[in-house]
Amino acid sequence: MANSENKEEVMQDEPKKTEHAAAPKKKNKQLQGLKAEFHRIIWPDKDTVVKETTAVVVTTVILGVIIALLDWVIKLGLDRIFS
C-alpha cells in the first residue's frame, strides 16, 4: 500500500501537460483561413442589391395582403357559422 500511495503523491507533484502552446498557432491558422475566405467573396453591385431588396419587399407585401384577406374570409365564415 505504501508504494501505491507514494506513486499517487509523485504523480500529483508532476506538472500537468497542457496543449496551450498549440492553441495560438491553431487560432492563427483559423484567422488566416478566414481572411482568405473573405478575399474570395464576390460582393454584389448596388443595382443587384436594389433589385433583390425590392423583390423581397414586394413579395412580402403581397403575401401579407393575401394572408390578411384569407384571415378576413375565414373570420367571416366562422362568424356566420356560429351566429
**Which tens digits make up the pLDDT trace of 35-61?**
888 889 998 999 999 999 999 999 999
> CB neighbours of 44 closer than 8 A, spacing ≥ 6?
52
pLDDT above 70 covers a percentage of the chain that reads: 72
SS3 assignment for 22-63: HHHHHHHHHHHHHHHHHHHCCCCCHHHHHHHHHHHHHHHHHH
Residue 27 has pLDDT above 90, yes or no: no
**Residue 35: C-alpha distances to residues 2, 13, 38, 41 (Å):** 57, 43, 5, 10
